[in-house]
Structure 1
Amino acid sequence: MNLWKLPTIAIAPEVIIPGTWITNTLLCTWICAICLFVVFFIGTRRRNMVPAGLQNALEWVVEFLQNLVEGVAGKERGKRFFPLVATFFIFILFCNLLDVIPGVDTIGTVHLDEQHANAVVNGPLLWGDLSNQIVPWLRPGTTDLNLTLAMALVSVVVTQILGFSMLGFKEQISKYLNFKAVKEKGGMGLVDFLVGVLEIISELGRLISFSFRLFGNVFAGSVLLAVFAYLLPAVANIIFVPFELFVAVIQAFVFAFLTLLFMQVGTTSHSHHDEGEHEVHHEYEGSAVPSH
């Protein structure tokens, strides 16, 4: 008999309270939201002129994100983009970091399958054939495709709302349904119309790429920790926990930064690009020296 078995790997979240819709990923998401509220409440309740401790750390994070957003989008647009980008980064980072906390994915309720239905569980620790019969109470929210897909949907929808708000309905809709180009340019305008259709497809594809990228990387990291904790318990803590911390930060940054870039592109007029190209063309023609 083995000392313990590899944990059961399930992609779908498990219901931890029978008869309800409360899953282990949902509970972990609630805990993450509460922790964020407590951290920011404690860190900002006094607001000293010379920050120290937690207030100093929070101000550094906010300032870093603000400089990043304004460096990409400028101060005017940065003020509108910053709340969503910063929220995504901080929330996803907290959710990812929960994966390395002891007890997450390892403490839960024992649900015996048919093969071990008559087995007797003695004590809080499981070993042998029963070691993989546990349903964890806590599992990082970002290992649930429902959450990552919901955040991707928020990113795409908010980008479109900002596009309609900042560019106007006519300019924004012309990015996707450019009938004017077909009327003015004829056959060449058809190419612009097809490019707009491809833009619609890319917007839908962004939902898949956003959600599956974050879910896949965090879920794979969670499985990696579980497998190597089984094979090499001591070595796994030394090597893979720091690696998972790095991945947690990178994945949060990638999701937030890509959201920022898409918001910047989504609120930029196509006519602005065309005007810029015409200006460059005229400047080139004016500065060109005739050849002899």
Structure 2
Amino acid sequence: MNLWRLPHVQLAPEVIFTIAGFQVTNTLFCTWISIVVLIALFFFATRRGDMIPRGLQNAMEVIVEFLLNLAENITGKKNARKFFPLAATFFCFILVSNLLDVIPGVDSIGSINPEELPKGAHPGILLWGDASNALIPWIRPATTDLNLTIAMALIAVITAQCVGFATLGFKEHTMKYINLRSLLKFSGTGFIEVFVGLLEIVSELSRVLSLAFRLFGNIFAGSIVLAVFAFLLPAVANVIFIPFELFVAAVQAFVFALLTLIYLQLAVTGHGHDEEHGEEVDLSQTSAAGSHA
């Protein structure tokens, strides 16, 4: 009999209980935990509102100020206040969800899957031997569920499109993708502009896959690495991989929020923005040359 077996790897989340026929998976349960943790953090951070922040209030203000400065640097002060809430929400939720992966009990406490048990096995509280991978964890990091990451990616991309229509208007925003005026030119340049518009449509669809699979892949792979090395070399997992997972958790939350801000800013940038900017540069250079003359 083996002392242990490699953990059972499953992409789809496992159902742990039902509420009035509604199936609750371990990733959904972890999503609720992440929301509760966020509410508690912001409640205790803002309940006093000291003029000189300290402790938890100071830490949360540092995060908020960092994200607001990031939004201003990418979108400018005019749009930063509008785009900040969505990007900050993504960052905080993803960060908390990712950090839960290194909490003791996550992915390691749960119920027994009878289908994975060998015949005649009667496991106790601790699973070991041939029954060591028969565990269905009660808590699994929310961002290891592809359904959640795709949903967040769709929210980011669809919100960007809605903001683009609201800011630029239906006609100008649509011309980024379908430029009928260029098609009616019946020239090489016109067909190239139409082809570029089709590429923009493909690019918008690829953004959903890029956001979703990047976050899911990194966190899911990290969760598997932690589980495997916890069996092989527990000391190495604690010293090396847990700090690395903390770094990856923060980076992935930052990247998701950063790309969301970029997509929002691109959506409110008009089709002729570059041309207008180029004309302004030419005019400024002409006026400067005239003053020197």
In structure 1, the partner of 2:188 is 187
Instruction: Report the CA distance between 1:119 and its aligned residue.
Output: 2.0
Paired residues for 1:7-86 under 5 Å: 7-17=7-17, 20-86=22-88
202-211 or 16-25: bigger deviation = 16-25
In structure 1, the partner of 2:172 is 171
Tell me the distance in 1 between the aligned counterparts of 2:162 and 2:242.
39
Instruction: Report the CA distance between 1:21 and its aligned residue.
Output: 1.6
Instruction: Report the CA distance between 1:2 and its aligned residue.
Output: 2.1
Instruction: Report the CA distance between 1:188 and its aligned residue.
Output: 1.1
**For 1:22, what is the secondary structure of its paired residue?**
strand
**For 1:224, what is the secondary structure of its paired residue?**
helix
Instruction: Report the CA distance between 1:278 and its aligned residue.
Output: 3.4
Paired residues for 1:114-129 under 5 Å: 116-122=118-124, 124-129=125-130
Tell me the distance in 2 between the aligned counterparts of 1:46 and 1:142.
32
In structure 1, the partner of 2:263 is 262
What are structure 2's unaligned runs of at least 5 residues? none
In structure 2, the partner of 1:246 is 247
**For 2:4, what is the secondary structure of its paired residue?**
coil
Q: TM-score, structure 2 length as denominator?
A: 0.93
List per-residue Cα deviations over 1:216-265 (Å, max 9, x = no partner).
Answer: 00000000111111110111111100000000000100111011111111
AA in 2 matched with 1:10: Q
Instruction: Report the CA distance between 1:280 and its aligned residue.
Output: 3.8
Q: TM-score, structure 1 length as denominator?
A: 0.93
Instruction: Report the CA distance between 1:45 and its aligned residue.
Output: 1.3
List per-residue Cα deviations over 1:4-48 (Å, max 9, x = no partner).
Answer: 211101111011116642100000000000110011011111211
Name the CA shift for 1:185/1:264 in 2 (closer, same or farther; >3 Å): farther
What are structure 1's unaligned runs of at least 5 residues? none
Tell me the distance in 1 between the aligned counterparts of 2:170 and 2:252.
33
Task: Find out whether 1:271 has 2:272 as its counterpart.
Answer: yes
The alignment covers a number of residue pairs equal to 288
25-34 or 107-116: bigger deviation = 107-116
List per-residue Cα deviations over 1:161-205 (Å, max 9, x = no partner).
Answer: 110111111110110111122335733112111111110111111
Where in structure 1 do 4 or more consecutive aligned residues deviate above 4 Å?
A: 281-288
Instruction: Report the CA distance between 1:109 and its aligned residue.
Output: 0.3
The answer to whether the Cα contact below 8 Å between 2:116 and 2:133 also exists between their aligned partners in 1 is: no
The answer to whether the Cα contact below 8 Å between 2:116 and 2:131 also exists between their aligned partners in 1 is: no
Paired residues for 1:100-249 under 5 Å: 100-113=102-115, 116-122=118-124, 124-184=125-185, 186-249=187-250
Task: Find out whether 1:2 has 2:9 as its counterpart.
Answer: no
Name the CA shift for 1:114/1:137 in 2 (closer, same or farther; >3 Å): closer
**For 2:136, what is the secondary structure of its paired residue?**
strand
Tell me the distance in 2 between the aligned counterparts of 1:145 and 1:160.
22
Instruction: Report the CA distance between 1:277 and its aligned residue.
Output: 2.5
Tell me the distance in 1 between the aligned counterparts of 2:117 and 2:23.
27
Tell me which of 84, 91, 94 is aligned to 1:92.
94
